[in-house]
Amino acid sequence: MKRREFLKSMTALTAASAFSAPAVWSPAKAQTHAETLLIVSESGPNNLDIHGVGTNVPGYEVSWNCYDRLIGHEMKTLPNGTPYYDKTKFKPELAEDMDVGDMAATFKLRRDATFQDGTPVTAKDVKWSFDRAVTVGGFPTFQMSAGSLTKPEQFVAVDEHTFRVDFLKKDRLTVPDLAVIVPCVLNSELVKSKATAQDPWGLEYTKLNTVGSGAYKVTNWTAGSQVVLERNENWKGGPLPKIKRIVWRMVPDAGNRRALLERGDADVSYDLPNKDFAELKTDGKLTIVSTPYSNGIQYIGMNVQNPPFNDLKVRQAVAYAIPYQKIMDAVLYGLAKPMFGAPADAPTDVAWPQPHKFNTDLDKAKKLLAESGAGDINVPISFDLGFAGVNEPICVLVQESLAQVGIKTTINKVPGANWRTELTKKTMPLFTNVFSGWLDYPEYFFYWCYHSGKSIFNTMDYQSPAIDSFIDGARAAAASGDKDGYDKDVKGFVDLAFADMPRIPLYQPYVNVAMQKNITGYEYWFHRRLDYRAFVKG
């Protein structure tokens, strides 16, 4: 199967299963400057390995750019001109050919692909990497299970350049799940040489070192300060990137990040406060791109297993007490889509995200609290300090509003390097977080966030056999092509989530990126992080 046939087959497959230390920077080094992209952000990675324990969101960016997957996505163009990944179309990375059958997919690997130390990439590396992903536990293992990839026995190295995935069942998420960050391919022999009896998968080594075949490799990392990546000159997974060197500097102060951009010292930043983005858009000296998160919301979560939020009336009271419009105006400056205040008679859509019907109503909140008999409530409200620019003002506004109905809160600032670990303990009583599903399907989001199984992102510890049944039913209906059954189940789990309200959607965020005018090639990806491979510096 040639590349054109590969792409055609993948498009048909998806369509059939879906419903219709600071960097040294010298202006004198003109050539180096032209070949280097300087990125500034609020926080950076705590781990270079997507399979690592508690790897944070910035860590995804490293993995995406330093490791190959078997397949990736083609791009399409949004009406505003932004390149955007096409969830229905795939392209080869390590695989130059793929044959998808009813119960298996077979991949022919590129024969010229090598790891960054020159070692050839083989099917045994792919199998070892997939075995690792489904075995290490936590986020990577659950991500693989989202596509019904759960057992090492499913992964077969047929020969040196042929790899097969056997399906446990028909699941329309299986092939798309092969294009996300987790099923990346590592240099198995190198990692095994660094493994120990206590660390059989070599996680301590890969936490600090990249061992992939991807377009870039990390050459220097000072945690909390900067990451330096160099182009892999022998990358075979696509066209060689135009940018040779990435310097990614952590600058916690938003004012300093903005000043670096406005002086022209930095090339790209993507987590300035929304006020800054709004002002920079008006100013017009930089290129500002704003794109809604695919399948994502910012929310207020409550632990529903423990008082006071095990009481539905208390959760509903909080939903009425949230100062939604103040958050939109004072924190987001309009750079988000509201997920609240739907008309009372609005029908439920077969879609996600969609707005719930709560609005700010302090009288209703007080009445519900009185009916609950909860008494005095005093709890911490927690947020990820790595994204304080948005999270902290949200928590301050929520704290002020809850106080007006008699709920006292203290603000708990969790360091970004620890946030994922604390979140997945499912012990924080009240918190704000953002979640965006990598596969843009409603049942995928709800599988991650509401299913009673072992999902680490059911951060509310919500247990509902009824919602589990709707989610499982939607997945089965999608696989079989039962549109009526699918629509019924999606509406069922959305309605139940809004009735029980274990988490309160606030808004669908935008990814905002500020770039110098001579920077082009920004692409929006489902993981919301930067893809260095497409950037060009004029």
Query: Would you place residue 177 in the very low, low, confident or very high pLDDT band (cuts 50, 70, 90)?
Result: very high
Q: What is the CATH number of the domain that holds 117?
A: 3.40.190.10
As a whole number, mean pLDDT of residues 133-161 equals 96
Judge whether 234 and 216 are in contact, CB under 8 Å: no
Asked if 312 and 230 sit in the same domain, the reply is: no
Which of these ranges, 8-17, 141-150, 457-466, 473-482, has the smallest mean pLDDT? Answer: 8-17
Q: Is the pLDDT confidence value at 21 over 50?
A: no
Asked if 225 and 340 sit in the same domain, the reply is: no
Judge whether 210 and 66 are in contact, CB under 8 Å: yes
Residue 41 lies in a domain: yes
Judge whether 11 and 17 are in contact, CB under 8 Å: no
What is the per-residue pLDDT across 459-478, written as a single tens digit (0 to 9) for each?
A: 999 999 999 999 999 999 99
Above pLDDT 70, what percent of the chain? 94
Q: Is the pLDDT confidence value at 31 over 90?
A: no
In this structure, what is the dihedral angle of CA atoms 527, 358, 448, 174, given to the nearest 10 degrees?
A: -70
Asked if 344 and 406 sit in the same domain, the reply is: yes
Query: Would you place residue 29 in the very low, low, confident or very high pLDDT band (cuts 50, 70, 90)?
Result: low
DSSP class per residue in 373-440: T---EEEEEEEEGGGHHHHHHHHHHHHHHHHHTTEEEEEEEE-HHHHHHHHHTT--SEEEEEEE-SS-
> What letter does residue 120 receive in the DSSP assignment?
B
Asked if 246 and 301 sit in the same domain, the reply is: no
Residue 26 lies in a domain: no
C-alpha span between 300 and 409 (Å, rounded): 13
Residue with tokens 């301050």: 396
Contacts of 158 (CB under 8 A, 6+ apart): 106, 123, 164
Which residues lie across from 507 on neighbouring strands? 298, 338
Asked if 242 and 370 sit in the same domain, the reply is: no
User: What phi and psi values does residue 347 have, to the nearest 5 degrees?
Assistant: -75, 155
CA distances from 210 to 197, 213, 220, 451, 476 (A): 21, 9, 10, 33, 38
Asked if 324 and 201 sit in the same domain, the reply is: no
Tokens read off for 471: 């989610």
* pLDDT score, position 22: 42
* pLDDT score, position 270: 87
Contacts of 66 (CB under 8 A, 6+ apart): 48, 210, 212, 214, 215, 216, 217, 218, 229
From 256, 286, 304, select the one nearest 431 (Cα to Cα). 304
In this structure, what is the dihedral angle of CA atoms 129, 134, 139, 144, given to the nearest 10 degrees?
A: 90
Judge whether 478 and 172 are in contact, CB under 8 Å: yes
Q: What is the CATH number of the domain that holds 448?
A: 3.10.105.10
* pLDDT score, position 448: 94
From 377, 380, 376, 378, select the one nearest 410 (Cα to Cα). 380
Which of these ranges, 10-14, 107-111, 143-147, 408-412, has the smallest mean pLDDT? Answer: 10-14
Contacts of 300 (CB under 8 A, 6+ apart): 318, 322, 398, 430, 431, 432, 503, 504, 506
As a whole number, mean pLDDT of residues 75-100 equals 94
What is the per-residue pLDDT across 306-324, written as a single tens digit (0 to 9) for each?
A: 999 999 999 999 999 999 9
- CB atoms under 10 Å from CB of 13, counted, come to 18
* pLDDT score, position 33: 78
Asked if 461 and 526 sit in the same domain, the reply is: no
Residue 45 lies in a domain: yes
Which residues lie across from 226 on neighbouring strands? 222, 249
Asked if 412 and 358 sit in the same domain, the reply is: yes
Residue 54 lies in a domain: yes
Above pLDDT 90, what percent of the chain? 90
Residue 280 lies in a domain: no
C-alpha span between 513 and 163 (Å, rounded): 38
What is the per-residue pLDDT across 249-280, written as a single tens digit (0 to 9) for each?
A: 999 999 999 999 999 999 999 889 999 999 99
Structural domain total, the chain: 2
Cα first-last separation, the chain: 37
Which residues lie across from 503 on neighbouring strands? 301
Asked if 165 and 313 sit in the same domain, the reply is: no
Residue 93 lies in a domain: yes
Residue 25 lies in a domain: no
Q: Is the pLDDT confidence value at 28 over 70?
A: no
As a whole number, mean pLDDT of residues 387-406 equals 97
Tokens read off for 450: 């509401």
Asked if 443 and 526 sit in the same domain, the reply is: no
Instruction: Check the CA dihedral 50-84-88-475 and report its sign.
Output: positive
Asked if 55 and 82 sit in the same domain, the reply is: yes
C-alpha span between 278 and 288 (Å, rounded): 9
Judge whether 475 and 451 are in contact, CB under 8 Å: no
Contacts of 249 (CB under 8 A, 6+ apart): 22, 23, 38, 39, 40, 41, 225, 226, 266
Domain that holds residue 445: 296-510
Residue 262 lies in a domain: no
Asked if 486 and 530 sit in the same domain, the reply is: no
Mean pLDDT (the chain) is: 93
Tokens read off for 414: 């969790």
Judge whether 355 and 341 are in contact, CB under 8 Å: yes
What is the per-residue pLDDT across 324-364, written as a single tens digit (0 to 9) for each?
A: 999 999 999 999 999 999 999 999 999 999 999 999 999 99
Beta-strand relationship, 536-537 and 226-231: unpaired
